[in-house]
Structure 1
Amino acid sequence: MKFHNPGSEVYVPDGGPADQALARTTHMGIGAHQDDLEIMAYHGILECFGKADRHFTGVTVTNGAGSPRDDLYAKYTDEDMQKIRRVEQRKAAYVGEYAAQVFLDYTSGEVKDKNNPDVIGDLKQLLSAAKPRVIYTHNLADKHDTHVGVALRVIHAVRSLPVAERPEKLYGCEVWRGLDWLNDEDKVFFDVTAHENLAMSLVGVFDSQICGGKRYDLATAGRRRANATYFASHATDVAQSVIFGIDLTPLIHDAKLDLGKYIQGFIDRFAQDVSGRLSRLS
């Protein structure tokens, strides 16, 4: 498999052949940056962890050069950060028992360039080889441009596949904007209570981000706990840790659906819920 960037890589934690690792993939996470997968796609990791018939493959699209840095990493150059973040992502893949971890090594600018076909081409090649049943990526209401860029490229790559090769499910998940604002009937509820130690370990290996000034480990665990507790106001908790998602599957089954109108539908239903409650109680 040959990707566009010379710095791209398929890392296989168990040391086996890359083609075999990709071929056994059932769940795939496609994220913009190193640590995005462990934050947003933990449900897929958990679904496969310790299972003989399910295997998670992670895909990190960008090289991680532009991340904030402090403390031990304050004087690291962009090149230094790329190296350390790749090492950290490899550690996460090993701890999480991923089938494979793919690094596509694009810059954020390349991902956000809607006229650059290379990202879509690499993703299509990867999806054709792996044929995952479930894909987790960023949601279209994320406030990070690179995240939305990745989500759009994923959708277009899947749409370019023959219908028979498309995944059964595509989910948009939480990183730079939680999804608790969605109406409950629009939420995809991922119970990730199990293996809390694994969840903490996976985010915790990204020391360059945590020590570097961003407590993603605490924030991620806190968001998941808040999602679980604040999900239902008149019922006891049914889970202790929850990730919310948006079901993007209709967008890959019907290529004629407009992406903007699709996500606007969720926003409109939320607005109607708020205005309706105010009208009812005023």
Structure 2
Amino acid sequence: MIKFSEPGADLFIPGGGSIANALSRTSHLAIAAHQDDIEILAFHGIAECYQQAERGFCGVVVTDGAGSPRAGDYAEYTDEKMQEIRAEEQRAAAKLGKYSAQFQLAYPSHQVKNTPALSLVDELEEILIKTQPEVVYLHNPMDKHDTHVAVFLKSLAALRRLPEKNRPKVVYACEVWRDLDWVCDKEKIALKSDEPRELALALLQVFDSQVSGGKRYDQAVLGRRLAHATFSHSHVVDDVKGVTYAIDVMPLLEDSMLTVEAYVQGFVERFAYSLTTTLAALSQD
């Protein structure tokens, strides 16, 4: 059994049965900062495993859910009450999506952002060892939410600890608080995120404390996925109705000397080069 550092942490097995069996079924795993982030960034993996006996999806939420915006019925709720509600919503999403397992590690956001949080890296490493996923979904290091970036960095640290033979085959860094449509086409990865549409919508609407509490993620996320699919190619009829963009994290695992800063700067420089070369080619001066 994995030893948690935070007293509010828990492991939920939606389908029942033993923890060992649930974790061993994991083929796809997502590590995210907050409740509902998994359902935004990793729906591709959820759908890949949904009702598939040979595949299992495992979710890991790092923080305790404190400090979220609230309005309407939730306007007067304390942080402690909101944490309880958001944790229960995440368990409900895991049950609806038929996840093999759902971890909630309950770290305060400030601890993840402002300290080395070595206990968190230890826990993530142990989860990865116990589950041995083939595919991992993370936040992306260019996200504009500081907690998302911090969780990415802690996740990368855990992945880098793994022996090469035990590492995932694929690691995606996905969009939540900053779209990745600006990344050069040959570098960004379009993850099919349109079916089952009813499940995609229901998974977002489970988080009523956010949707009814002032943030219409259900509309915004599905709208972004559709927009990405529609605007991805100007001269091709849409063959999917929803896309989540991601980038490949494997270069950071294959080269331990590659810094995240250099990795990110590469995307920015290549994007800038593509813009300036297009402008130069089309200039009539």
Alignment of 1:72-83 (within 5 A): 72-83=73-84
- Given the two structures, how large is their TM-score scaled by the length of structure 1? 0.98
Shift in Å, 1:161: 1.2
**Other-structure match for 2:3:** 2
CA distance in 2, matches of 1:75, 1:14: 34
- In the alignment, the residues of structure 2 paired with residue 154 and residue 179 of structure 1 have an alpha-carbon distance, to the nearest angstrom, of 20
1:94-105 pair list within 5 angstroms: 94-105=95-106
Counterparts of 1:1-282 in structure 2, within 5 Å, are 1-282=2-283
Question: Can you give the 5+ residue segments of structure 2 that lack an aligned partner in the other structure?
Answer: none
Identity %: 49
Unaligned 5+ segments in structure 1 are none
For residues 107 and 193 of structure 1, what CA distance do their matches in structure 2 show? 33
Equivalent position SS for 1:14: coil
Between 139-148 and 258-267, the greater mean CA deviation after superposition: 258-267
| Distance in 1 of aligned mates of 2:96 and 2:113 | 31
Specify the code of the residue in structure 2 equivalent to 1:264: Q
Secondary structure, counterpart of 2:68 in structure 1: coil
The question of whether the paired residues in 1 share the 8 Å contact of 2:194 and 2:200 is answered with: no
TM-score when normalising by structure 2: 0.97
Distance in 2 (CA, whole Å) between partners of 1:105 and 1:20 is 24
Q: Could you tell me how far 1:261 is from its partner in structure 2? A: 0.5
Q: Write out per-residue CA displacement over residues 161-205 of structure 1, whole angstroms, 9 at most, x where no aligned residue.
A: 111111111110010001110111011111122200000000010
My pick for the range that moved more, 186-195 or 206-215, is 186-195
The superposition leaves residues 185-232 of structure 1 with CA deviations (integer Å, 9 ceiling, x where unpaired) of 011111122200000000010000011100000000000000000001
Q: Output one character per residue of 1:244-276: Cα deviation in whole Å (capped at 9) or x when no partner.
A: 101111111221211110111111111111111
- Taking only aligned residues, the RMSD between alpha carbons, in angstroms, comes to 0.9
Rounded to whole Å, the distance in 2 between the matches of 1:79 and 1:114 is 22
Distance in 2 (alpha carbons) for counterparts of 1:241 and 1:194:
8
Q: CA deviation at 1:114?
A: 4.3
The 8 Å contact of residues 143 and 176 in structure 2, kept in 1 or not, is answered as yes
